[in-house]
Structure 1
């Protein structure tokens, strides 16, 4: 198995199923199918309005719950301790589970008490209802504060990362602190299928552009990826990306692509660091 493990007892498959923006029956079907074909890592969030759909798939599946890594997250406007606790309770109820494998703060808050929010997040790990904790979309200065100043035992940072968005500073930090980085939008919302360089590499190996983009991430230490895939065909194709063998020439071609193409930057996003080249 291709799993990321660390000192916080994380045991997370490097390839997971991203569930946004699927909801309802479509989402339940996609998750059930993914578990059937071999996925063991499902990513959801309160902000996706699909935790209940994921929960239905989990209880219907013949795969035992303890064999599935489930990540969920609390939305940025629910980071006051009382709101966080209520949101977390709702998450567990929706997922029909008494724990999550990884619970994260989805986005930094606005005018929030960072210390109190992190303290509340840590309390979920201490009471065993979150096996691991992490944060998503935190820029480096905030991540450094939480890990180094507050000493929070974070296992995972989830951020946008792909062939046209570099994250070297964050990668250096997570590796230094024995954390994992989960890449969302790993196939750039399928734009990789239209990128001449990625297509060229794919043709050379007789594989799909999406598989090239995924394998580039999966080859990297401490990195996981969570592409959305609703159909069986796409799910199997993503799983098969592990078999792709990229060479130094391929990696050099990918390294030469622009690394400042951010897809996700909503109005409430933090101030991102200057783009890395």
Structure 2
């Protein structure tokens, strides 16, 4: 496994588009102990994320920074050009993990991934990632790339536990990184999770994120903007779920997606 072993709980920044708020969220998270920061070209906040990293009292080399190439930018030359633009906006010399955001629109395995390979060989990126890939897309990517696939970022939460993708990741030595790990707040009203939270004198987000921490090879990047929520999520490390808790959470899986659309990778 890659260095993501050291960064099991990260900060997601999707929809954190207020520049000052975003920078402050990133700075707060890093100074609290987070080291995994996730953004994307499509989020429109790379500059704010970079400012938060620069303003935090944490050395750049301790920060695991991930961003994603937008689906419109996945032609070979566009990957190279927009990766440089991301570096400029982020104010960094390298990106720890660069993702293909979706295998849609301009995505072409040969053209797209050869550009990622070039960025990897040059040291512009430290790891190659993919997002929203199904096993067939992962098979294809592994055939094209010489660099290892470090992570597949997908929607994952107690209602969508992604067993097949986790098994694939374990077999091939990459991580699953969960976005929307709280199911866009849907988990907050779940009676099972509420009961487990009461048992551990914890919050439902803490219990949910503690479940992620119990899974081998899985990282989670919950979005949080306020210092209160950033701190509360970090408290997941203090929650020790027992086997009964884990079994009850496993039973919540029902294949429910918060993000779905016609032509999604899993529908092809």
Interval containing the TM-score (normalised by the shorter chain): over 0.9
Aligned equivalent of 2:118, options 123, 128, 131 = 123
Q: Would you say how many aligned residue pairs link Structure 1 and Structure 2?
A: 267
Q: Answer yes or no: is the 8 Å Cα contact 1:146–1:152 preserved in 2.
A: no
Query: Equivalents in 2 of 1:177, 1:112: separation in Å?
Result: 22
Query: Equivalents in 1 of 2:222, 2:60: separation in Å?
Result: 21
**TM-score normalised according to structure 2 size:** 0.94
Q: Where in structure 2 are there 5+ consecutive unaligned residues?
A: none
Verify: 1:92 aligned to 2:87, yes or no: yes
Consecutive aligned runs of 4 or more in structure 1 exceeding 3 Å deviation? 9-12, 148-152
Aligned equivalent of 2:235, options 218, 224, 240 = 240
Deviation of 1:37 after TM superposition, in Å, equals 1.3
Verify: 1:15 aligned to 2:41, yes or no: no
Deviation of 1:271 after TM superposition, in Å, equals 3.1
Q: Where in structure 1 are there 5+ consecutive unaligned residues?
A: none
Say which structure is richer in helix. 2
Q: Answer yes or no: is the 8 Å Cα contact 1:118–1:152 preserved in 2.
A: no
Which secondary structure state, in structure 1, belongs to the residue aligned with residue 129 of structure 2? strand
Deviation of 1:90 after TM superposition, in Å, equals 0.7
Please give the root-mean-square deviation of Cα atoms over the aligned residues, in Å. Answer: 1.7
Of 218-227 and 249-258, deviating more is: 249-258
**1:82 aligned residue:** 77
Q: Answer yes or no: is the 8 Å Cα contact 2:71–2:107 preserved in 1.
A: no
Which secondary structure state, in structure 2, belongs to the residue aligned with residue 186 of structure 1? coil
Which secondary structure state, in structure 2, belongs to the residue aligned with residue 182 of structure 1? strand
Aligned equivalent of 1:42, options 37, 44, 54 = 37
Verify: 1:250 aligned to 2:245, yes or no: yes
Q: Answer yes or no: is the 8 Å Cα contact 2:170–2:217 preserved in 1.
A: yes
Query: Equivalents in 2 of 1:91, 1:12: separation in Å?
Result: 24
Of 261-270 and 154-163, deviating more is: 261-270
Verify: 1:147 aligned to 2:142, yes or no: yes
Query: Equivalents in 1 of 2:255, 2:158: separation in Å?
Result: 10
Alignment of 1:75-224 (within 5 A): 75-110=70-105, 112-148=107-143, 150-224=145-219
**Change in CA separation of 1:268 and 1:71 when aligned onto 2, cut-off 3 Å:** farther
The Cα offsets for residues 197-246 of structure 1, whole Å up to 9 and x where unpaired, read as 11111111111111111111111110000001111111111111011111
Query: Equivalents in 1 of 2:64, 2:261: separation in Å?
Result: 27
